[in-house]
Structure formats: C-alpha cells, structure tokens
Copies of this chain bind each other. A is one copy, B any other.
Amino acid sequence: MAARAGVSLGTASRVLSGHPATSPGARSRVTEAAAALGYRPNAQARSLRSTRTHTIGLLVSDVRNPFFADVAHAAEQAALDADYVTLLGNANEDVDQQDRYLETFLTQRVDGVVITPQGRGSGSLDTLIDSGMPIVFADRTVEGLDVPSVTTDSRPGLDEAIAHLAARGHTRIAFIGGPQSISTGRDRHDAFLEAMPAHGLEVAGELIAFGDFREASGTEAAERLLAVPDRPTALLAADNLMAVGALAAVRSHGLTIGADIDLIAFDDTEWFPFLDPPMSVIAHDPGAIGRHAVALLLRVIGGDTPESVVLPTKFVDRTRVAGSPHG
C-alpha cells in the first residue's frame, strides 16, 4: 500500500495511525491507496509498533571529543531521570558511520533519537524522520530538515573574542574553521566574518584554513597559516580539538603562546585552565545542550512539537600576562 501510495512504509504507517507529522499530500495518497486495497489496521502489529522500549538513541559526532562526551553524559542523566536508558553511538565525524547507527537505532526500536548530525547522510536522516521516529538535533542542525534543535549562538562569544584580540593590538588574526558541510562549521565561520569588520579588522583570505574538528586537522591548518609570509599573530580555532592540534604546531615552531602568538579555542574543557599558558576560550554549555535535547525529545515522544532552543556563548579570558604578543 505504501508502494501504491508512492510513500515510505513509515509515512503510510504514520498517516494510518493519525500521527501529526505527515504532509497533506501524503495523507490523501495513503488514504486513497488504503481504500483501494481494502486496508484494515492490524491491531497486533499496531500494538507491537507502539511498544515502548524506554531507550533513546544518542548519536554524537565524536565520542573522544570532550565537548560531546559532556553532552552525552548530561543527556544520559536527564534521560535516566525520566526512566529512559540512552544507547550511545559514535558517528566518528563520518557520514557513513552515522548511517549505520541510524539504521541500528531503527531496528533496535529506540523510542527516539538525539543526534549531532554530520549532515544529511545518504538519506538516512530522511528515512528516520519519515519513519515517524521522534528526533531532536543537538549542537548541529541540517538545512532543509524541520526537526526541533538545541544549538548555541556563536556570535556573542566570538565577537567578544575578536574585541579582546583587537584590544591587544592584533590585526593579523587567523581562523581555523570546521567543515562547511556542518552547521556549526558554517555558523562559526560566518560569526568570524561578521565580528572582524565590526572591530575595524580586515579578513585576510590567506588567514582562513579549514579542518575537520579533529586534532590532526588543527595541526595541519596551523602549519599552513604559520607558513604565510606575513604570519598571523593570533589564531582562533573553531573547536577544542583543533585548538589542541594548533597548539602542537605553534610549540613545534618554537613560538610561545601569549608572547609570540595568541590562541583562542571554541569550546571549554576542564583541563584548558591548566595548559601552559591557560587557554582562553569561547565557552558554551555542553551539559545544557544535552539536558535541553532530552527534554525536547521527551516532548516529541509525547506528541508535542516543541520550539527549538538557542543557548548563548561567552568569551573566557585566561590571558596571564598583559603584554602584547607582537609589539
């Protein structure tokens, strides 16, 4: 019948069970096909489908990234408080691995999914949404998919960070961005492009490099930036792992952070204050992201269509010495 109606099994099932997340077109096609085929709902199958497993699937981008470990931990605790066990998957910043996990969450009949998406994947996210699975995006979103989300606004924290660097006299500020296929990669890049002129600074094309939100890519990006003839005096990395990678590159060039060059990371970690020197950061709250995401998911599971949540960022200045690194 789904085939006759030209819709997925999930859509057909949602229409017939009166689920709200169906388009008018799908509804009329499924209803017609059902009538033509003399469809009668199967009570047993319906009860099977509506059986709750009291599990939720949580797919994070990278379980070794302390930011996502904090999101996962907070989400899991919030879920347990509501009597749900969280099955955690690691997409490992890889779209194919994301596909594998989303399939598994479907066959394991989790009651809902929180995901920090890698992008749309090979239709796996569409399949999941189409199946009627309750779903919430955390930290990242996917353009064109209408899913409740919990994200952070990069702008306030990034603007304060650029103001801080401008006040320290920097003009050659480099940006190590994340993948532009990922919403947070785009947002942080856009926020950088906005903040620079707002503080009278010019964006130099050769001072922008992109990584993949992982450590090695931060090292490679910093190497490219430090090789620019009029080298940057400050680096701003779009996540904590690329900042650690950049730190390794800066050290290997014999440069001293705070004296020869400034380095600011997006994301805070519990050990950044103990670095040599302490890392200044654009901080947001991974715990709040995890808790809000589960709260939204429970509302979606309950049949609501909750509003998305946007959380703030702020700059945390850990500069030890007052001196300017390039004077």
Q: How far is the CB of A118 from chain B (nearest CB, A)?
A: 15
Q: Which residue of B lies closest to A245 (CB)?
A: B270
Check: A64 CB closer than 8 A to any chain B CB.
yes
Check: A87 CB closer than 8 A to any chain B CB.
yes
Per the bound structure, the CA–CA distance linking A248 and B274 in Å amounts to 8
Across the interface, A108 reaches (CB within 8 A) one of B53, B69, B275, namely B53
Residues of chain A in range 265-311 having any CB-CB distance to chain B below 8 Å: 270-271, 274-278
In contact, A87 and B108 (Cβ under 8 angstroms): yes
In contact, A89 and B85 (Cβ under 8 angstroms): yes
Interface size bracket, A side: 35 or more
Across the interface, A271 reaches (CB within 8 A) one of B85, B244, B251, namely B244
Per the bound structure, the CA–CA distance linking A85 and B89 in Å amounts to 9
In contact, B274 and A277 (Cβ under 8 angstroms): no
Residues of chain A in range 34-87 having any CB-CB distance to chain B below 8 Å: 53, 55, 63-64, 66, 69-70, 72-73, 76-77, 80, 85-87
Per the bound structure, the CA–CA distance linking A90 and B97 in Å amounts to 20
Check: A107 CB closer than 8 A to any chain B CB.
yes
Across the interface, A274 reaches (CB within 8 A) one of B73, B88, B101, B247, namely B247
In contact, B89 and A88 (Cβ under 8 angstroms): yes
Check: A124 CB closer than 8 A to any chain B CB.
no
Per the bound structure, the CA–CA distance linking A77 and B63 in Å amounts to 12
A101 cross-chain contacts in B, Cβ below 8 A: 85
- 4 more A-B residue pairs beyond the given contacts A63-B63, A108-B108, A271-B271, with a C-beta to C-beta distance below 8 A: A76-B90, A86-B89, A86-B90, A215-B270
Which A positions have Cβ atoms within 8 angstroms of B?
A: 53, 55, 63-64, 66, 69-70, 72-73, 76-77, 80, 85-90, 92, 97, 100-101, 104, 107-108, 215, 244, 247-248, 251, 270-271, 274-278
